[in-house]
Structure 1
Amino acid sequence: MTITRTSDGRKSDPRLKVVDEIATTHLFDIAVDLDPRLNIGDGPFGKRILFGAAGGSFEGPELRGEVLPGGGDWALFRSDGGMSVDVRLTLRTHDGALVYMSYGGRWIVPAELREDIADPVKSRQVDPARYYFRTTPMFETGAKQYAWLNDIVCVGSGYLIEGGVAYQVSRVI
């Protein structure tokens, strides 16, 4: 069934309701330092590269701390030039709590920017507004003071930085 809106804005399927638009609020900014890449190679779904996490930091209004070494992005470079993100990180808050952060996402770089993005110097100079780098972070923790993280959904906007990658992470409210 095709869903259309009537002249007064209602949806033609009476089961559907108009709900508030999705809104977000800033959760934190995170910088992830990366180890040298490990090229796993061309497989049946594309080229798999591991960008290992060497450390980093995060800071926002409700929490801050460090990115622990040992996580990483098991990125899949697709034949169409896009990249699928598959990241797992461990965060340690300023007060010692451990938080598991995982996210998927997409990094889509227009063909005319791919040569510059592949260059270690030029890549950090490309305006992030010229490519699409979005993620969907989720969290797990046993720390009581951060248990609220277990129940939220987030979105992130990524960009390249010296030595790694950074994201602005927002909580969907």
Structure 2
Amino acid sequence: MADRQFPNDPQTRRSLLLAAGGLAAVPVMAKAAAPAPVAEDIPKAEFVYEAIVTLGPPEEIGETPHGKRVRIPITGGTFKGPRISGTIFPEGMDWQLIRPDGMTELEAAYLMREADGTVIHIRNKGVAGKGYARTSAVFEVPNGPHAWLNEAVFAGTVGPVPEMDTPAVRIRMYKLV
């Protein structure tokens, strides 16, 4: 900044001085207390389904400026809940980013087939690591009996499935109401 010169043009100098003076005159506001949460604004969660998603071998893509990139094939699975149940297509992918801070960004896209034949497309993004694994899902479903999946916000948990010999994850999905 030392090599920069103050503008010689009187109009520019006056504008800069007025702007600087105006900023100095702005009062410092006292930090206001955060408003108390309103009970009806606090989301509640309604269970939608539990999925057991089977996985293929991970493929390390390599280091990127953002962390290590890994892709994990989704090889199938099942899901079951009070309003929907069915199978998971063996053709999805989880495109993970292992960040330098030890957290992993999850980004999965796959298809599920409901027992009545409806194909459900799901995009599920989240963060996992340090004992924490949460996702947010967006569904795309044809108009019809399962269109309610298009009309809400969904959050989920991801965890291991220790009782299986095949690599898999357990996803529990909830509709925020």
TM-score, length-scaled by structure 1: 0.78
1:4 maps to 33
**Any idea what the Cα deviations from partners look like across 1:118-167, whole Å, max 9, x if unmatched?**
xxxxxxxxxxxxx1000011100114111111011111111012321111
Report the CA distance between 1:22 and its aligned residue.
Answer: 1.0
CA RMSD in angstroms comes to 1.7
**Any idea what the Cα deviations from partners look like across 1:47-84, whole Å, max 9, x if unmatched?**
11111100000000000000101111100000111100
5+ residue gaps in structure 2? 1-28
If you compute each CA radius of gyration, which structure gives the higher value, 1 or 2?
A: 2
For 2:70 and 2:170, the matched residues in 1 are separated by: 18
2:14 maps to none
Does residue 40 of structure 1 match 2:61? yes
2:151 maps to 151
How many pairs does the alignment contain?
Answer: 143
For 2:79 and 2:160, the matched residues in 1 are separated by: 15
Deviates more, 1:98-107 or 1:18-27: 18-27
1:74 maps to 95
In the superposition, relative to structure 1, how do residues 25 and 34 fare at CA in structure 2: closer, same or farther (>3 Å)?
same
Counterpart mapping for 1:97-116 below 5 A: 97-109=118-130
For 2:74 and 2:152, the matched residues in 1 are separated by: 24
5+ residue gaps in structure 1? 6-10, 110-130
1:138 maps to 138
User: Are 1:55 and 1:68, in contact at CA under 8 Å, matched by a contact in 2?
Assistant: yes
For 2:62 and 2:53, the matched residues in 1 are separated by: 23
For 2:151 and 2:32, the matched residues in 1 are separated by: 31
User: Are 1:103 and 1:138, in contact at CA under 8 Å, matched by a contact in 2?
Assistant: yes
- In the TM superposition, structure 1's runs of 4+ consecutive aligned residues that sit over 3 Å from their partners are none
Opposite residue 30 of structure 1, the aligned amino acid is: A
For 1:85 and 1:33, the matched residues in 2 are separated by: 15
For 2:143 and 2:60, the matched residues in 1 are separated by: 35
User: Are 1:97 and 1:143, in contact at CA under 8 Å, matched by a contact in 2?
Assistant: no
In the superposition, relative to structure 1, how do residues 70 and 3 fare at CA in structure 2: closer, same or farther (>3 Å)?
farther
Identical aligned residues as a percent: 29
